[in-house]
Amino acid sequence: MSAMKPAASERVFDVGNIVLLCVLSLMFLIPFLAVIATSFISAEEAMRRGAFILIPEKLDFGAYDMLLNRGMIIYNAYKVTLFRVTVGTCLNLLLTATLAYGLARRTLPGRNGLVLIIFLTMIFHGGLIPNYMLIDKLGLKDTLWVLIFPGLISAWNLFIMRNFFLTLPEELEESAIIDGASPPVILWKIVVPLSMPAFATIGLFYAVHHWNDWFSASIYINDQSKMPIQVVMRNILLSGLLQDETQVELIRDPPPAATLKSAVVVVSTLPILFVYPFIQKYFVKGMMVGSIKG
């Protein structure tokens, strides 16, 4: 009898825990589900049912039609974002990896001084205005490169990468030298293939940053044709309007502002949500690596 008691309370604990976690999971999901639902509500239904609608009676694609078929603004923004994600991430990885690899050489004269120079940038920054003036003077404003150059290397990612290179066994390289391989050959033929997991993790950090970044584009880009998706989304969320030629072309029964806003959130977040389950584990790994001191 007394042996049964803990088992019963155990079960109550387990069930309670699972119910609680299900409720919490719903809390994480509800805002997304509500936005998806709202994006399908037609003007007519919003008029008739009013206020907040959790489940639309029928799926109305008016907002998506307006966003995707009647104007180039979303496509353009996507192109800008894709440009910065691909070109930006490649350059990020190239510069981060070369610098990290060089600084991972234990015998390099001046290594500690160079590391200190980079470390100082992590605790002291020029701040908003000096950065703004620099970008202005370099003539980067209103160019696509302003989305890439100022953030080429994150010192944090650099140190993660360097720690990774430091864990590669030195014997590998020594034996390659005995076989007559030159430093560039060692880097390209031995180090790079071994470092693919680190490249994947750090590359994803950079790529998600490029996808999500809003602030730098919002202050440096005024030309609408160069605005990335986050800036365009922000403008639509603020105004509830598409700010381009579609406004000239009159649409019968335009979707309600809330529907249009929801649709733009869905359109600009869906790609991330689709790849997210596949990249999640790399992020968790990177988080662990970053937290372990080298």
Partner 1 sequence: MATTNTAGAKPAAGPGAARRKLWSAIKLHRFYYYLILPGMLYFIIFDYIPMFGVIIAFKDISPFEGVSAIFTSEWVGFKHFIRFWNSYYFWNVMRNTLLISGYKLLFGFPAALLLALLLNEVKHTGFKRIVQTISYLPHFISTVVVAGLVMMVLSTDSGMINAIVVAFGGEPVHFLGDPAYFRSILVLSHVWQTVGWGTILYLAAMTGIDPGLYEAAKIDGASRLRQAWHITLPGITPVIAILLILSIGGLLNAGFEKVLLLYSPSVYSVADIIDTYVYREGLNKLNYSFATAVGVFKNILAMILILGANYVAKKMNQTGIW
Chain residues 52-71 in contact with partner 1, contact rule CB under 8 A: 52-54
Burial 246-282 (b: 16+ CB within 10 A, else e): beeeeeeebbbebbbbbbbbbbbbeeeeeeeeebeeb
- Residue closer to partner 1 by CB (options 250, 259) is 259
User: Residue 152 burial (CB < 10 Å; 0-12/13-18/19+)?
Assistant: middle
Cβ(61)–Cβ(45) below 8 Å: no
* 71 three-class SS: coil
Query: Considering the rule CB under 8 A, would residue 85 count as an interface residue with partner 1?
Result: no
Query: Considering the rule CB under 8 A, would residue 51 count as an interface residue with partner 1?
Result: yes
Residues 247-276 that bind partner 1 (CB under 8 A): 256, 258, 261-262, 265, 268-269, 272-273, 276
| Shortest spacing between CB 171 and partner 1, in angstroms | 19
- Count CA atoms closer than 13 A to 18's CA, side-chain side: 5
Residues 86-105 that bind partner 1 (CB under 8 A): 95-96, 98-99, 101-103, 105
- Residue closer to partner 1 by CB (options 245, 281) is 281
> What binding mask, one character per residue, do residues 203-242 give for partner 1 by CB under 8 A, x or -?
-----x--xxxxx---x----------x--xx--x-----
Residue with tokens 């490249």: 199
Count of residues near partner 1 by CB under 8 A = 94
List the one residue out of 271, 219, 263, 228 whose CA is nearest residue 76: 228
Instruction: Single out the segment in contact with partner 1 by CB under 8 A; choices: 168-176, 190-198, 242-250, 286-294.
Output: 286-294
Residues 3-32 that bind partner 1 (CB under 8 A): 6, 9-10, 13-14, 17-18, 20-21, 24-25, 27-32
Instruction: Single out the segment in contact with partner 1 by CB under 8 A; choices: 57-65, 167-175, 193-201, 281-289.
Output: 281-289
List the one residue out of 244, 267, 242, 246 whose CA is nearest residue 78: 267
Residues 106-165 that bind partner 1 (CB under 8 A): 107-109, 114, 117-119, 121, 123-134, 137, 149-150, 152-153, 155, 158-159
CA distance 95 to 128: 24
